Amino acid sequence: MTIDFKHSQSAHCENGVTSSLLRHHGLDISEAMAFGIGSGLFFAYLPFVKYDGIPTTSFRPLPGRIFKRTAARLRIRMVRKKFRDKEASMRALDETLGRGIPVGLQVGVFHLTYFPAPYRFHFNAHNLVVYGKENGQYLISDPVMEQPESLTYDELMRVRFARGLFEPRGHMYYLRDAPGHIDVASAIIKGIRKTCRDMLTIPIPLFGVKGIRYISRKMSKWPSKLGAKRAALYLGQLIRMQEEIGTGGAGFRFIYAAFLQEAAEALNNGRLEELSQSMTECGDRWRDFAAMAGRIIKNRASEQESYPALSAILSEIADRECRIFSELKDAVL
Amino acid sequence: MRLDQVPQDNDYLMEGRTRELCYAVDEKGRYVRVLSAGWEPKNAALIQAWEQVYERVKATYDDVLAGKKSPLAFFMAKRMFDVKLLSAYTNIPKRKIKSHLDPDCFRRLDTETLKVYAHALNVTVDGLLNGPRPIDVPFRTEKAGR
């Protein structure tokens, strides 16, 4: 059976799945809107969580949160399931598809056959939608791909039970029902408030604006502490988190700016439009940061381009974001 | 980022399978969605990550030839599995996997266990048993299509 489902590409997988599932149920929520309502913007520097011996940086909250928050704030009831038994997880999927409901799945990308090989690391927080089954092939709408894809039973089961950090354990989710009317305005305000809180007030110096300042301070010492090669690896990992498929550029700052622009219209609040512009400028600074870091990685940096210079950009970004989120908080009082 | 600044630096890292969606502002200051073929700094970071993997693969290859490590160690490096991850996929205890990294222990393994390893690491049992051939070692960052 095939469900009449419209594949649409998005910048980030979880927002994309959220948006296309909502749209399938007749609720017109764009990717940027889902991202903003679900408070997708974040910053965390986790020196004790290491990936391949290198500290992790995250520009997003934990996997699954964006969907959960968006659904909750729009007062939509959803179903989330995890499984121990692989076969049972596939039966549950078939049964839900049989009822004509497209299903969101969390998967690992390492065994994801249609994914470009250079992106197939052991990364488990990818999301996609299954919208049907034809001749033993599951029909897949993967939000980062331009076209719909397909997977066999075994291939799909394998990616649903990928192992390692953030194991999906067959995690599937779908909308139980869609209310006829949703209150987008209040959801937007709740989403913005949560993002402001996350970025400004977490009392641990590794999160939000404080986290950006922290990594900025540490970064200027990387070459002397770690040596040129490891310092470059730390930098490479940071850029990958910031720019890799899924962020829409500049660690989600551009998507967030797009959200603020939509929110300005929805709430009829001109202040949000101005803050959207400030956020765009801030995103451009993140891009400048990545561009300079990229030249350092490739050993093509000029005299002025060094770790202290990168650190200075980050510190400036922290100041900008501190100002933006403080004003944003007041704009939606 | 303005519409005309959206980078199109194609390093063939997406293998022509897809392009990436970005958000950029048009001349009226409105956000629009636009496809990008890639961006230089981020391509550099991805290539750097792979070079790191390949360096490790080469080092392990030399160790296997020198008789210091088993072929299992080589294919683990190649597929980026550490002991913990391989243990999770195979349900073989970490302690055992560690011992199988030793060439002598590895040689005594039964076919069942070899099958389990081979499946997880996506090689044939023969390939795993006979050890890496020079062709298994990437000599530079693989860029498909080039």
Percent of chain B scored above 70 by pLDDT? 95
CA angle B40, B43, B46 (to 5 degrees): 155
Mean pLDDT of chain A: 91
Host domain of residue A42: 13-177
For residues A217 and A118, membership in a common domain is answered with no
Q: Give Rg (Cα) of chain A.
A: 20
State the smallest CA–CA distance between residue B48 and chain A in angstroms: 7
The residue from A153, A177, A201 where one domain ends is A177
State the smallest CA–CA distance between residue B49 and chain A in angstroms: 7
What confidence category does residue A304 fall into, taking pLDDT thresholds of 50, 70 and 90? confident
The HSE-up count of residue A245 (CA atoms within 13 Å, CB side) is: 27
To probe the interface with B, which of A276, A280, A285 has the most B CB atoms within 10 Å? Answer: A280
Q: Is residue A4 part of a domain?
A: no
To probe the interface with B, which of A140, A243, A272 has the most B CB atoms within 10 Å? Answer: A243
Residues of B in contact with A164 (CB under 8 A): 85, 88
State the smallest CA–CA distance between residue B94 and chain A in angstroms: 14
For residues A130 and A197, membership in a common domain is answered with no
The CA distance from A243 to A249, in Å, is 5
Residue A147 has pLDDT above 60, yes or no: yes
Q: Is residue A3 part of a domain?
A: no
Q: Which residues of B make CB contacts under 8 Å with A?
A: 1, 13-15, 17-25, 29-31, 33, 35-36, 39-42, 44-46, 48-50, 52, 80-81, 85, 88-89, 142-144
The CA distance from B97 to B102, in Å, is 9
For residues A162 and A278, membership in a common domain is answered with no
Specify the CATH architecture of the domain B55-136.
Answer: Orthogonal Bundle (1.10)
What are the distances in angstroms from CA A245 to CA A241, A248, A252, B19? 9, 7, 11, 9
For residues A311 and A215, membership in a common domain is answered with yes
For residues A144 and A26, membership in a common domain is answered with yes
Q: Is residue A277 part of a domain?
A: yes
Q: Is residue A6 part of a domain?
A: no
Could you read off the pLDDT of B22-49 as tens digits, one per residue? Answer: 899 999 989 999 988 888 888 888 888 8
Q: Is residue A251 part of a domain?
A: yes
The answer to whether the CB atoms of A146 and B1 lie below 8 A apart is no
Cβ proximity of A242 and A290 under 8 Å = yes
Mean pLDDT of chain B: 87
pLDDT attached to residue A240:
87
The answer to whether the CB atoms of A11 and B23 lie below 8 A apart is yes
Could you read off the pLDDT of A95-111 as tens digits, one per residue? Answer: 999 999 999 999 999 99
Cβ proximity of A96 and A103 under 8 Å = yes
State the smallest CA–CA distance between residue B106 and chain A in angstroms: 24
Whichever domain contains A167, its CATH number is 3.90.70.10
Q: Residue with structure tokens 């005309």?
A: B4
pTM for the whole structure: 0.89
Q: Is residue A295 part of a domain?
A: yes
The answer to whether the CB atoms of B42 and A164 lie below 8 A apart is no
For residues A201 and A312, membership in a common domain is answered with yes
| DSSP label of A134 | E
ipTM greater than cut 0.85: yes
pLDDT attached to residue B1:
85
Could you give the 3-state DSSP secondary structure of residue A3?
coil
The CA distance from A135 to A112, in Å, is 19
Which residues are CB-contacts of B57 (< 8 A; sequence separation ≥ 6)?
Answer: B74, B77, B78, B137, B138
To probe the interface with B, which of A111, A119, A157, A163 has the most B CB atoms within 10 Å? Answer: A163
Q: Name the residue ranges covered by the structural domains of chain B.
A: 3-38, 55-136
Percent of chain A scored above 70 by pLDDT? 99
State the smallest CA–CA distance between residue A99 and chain B in angstroms: 31
The answer to whether the CB atoms of B19 and A10 lie below 8 A apart is no
Alpha helices in chain B (DSSP H): 40-65, 71-78, 83-90, 94-100, 103-107, 111-121, 125-130
Domain count along chain A: 2
Residue A191 has pLDDT above 70, yes or no: yes
Residue A26: closest CA among A152, A137, A229, A175: A175
Cβ proximity of B1 and A250 under 8 Å = yes
| DSSP label of B3 | G
**Residue B110: other Cβ atoms inside 10 A:** 7
For residues A58 and A76, membership in a common domain is answered with yes
**Residue B98: other Cβ atoms inside 10 A:** 12
The CA distance from A36 to A256, in Å, is 6
**Residue A319: other Cβ atoms inside 10 A:** 14
For residues A38 and A169, membership in a common domain is answered with yes
For residues A173 and A199, membership in a common domain is answered with no
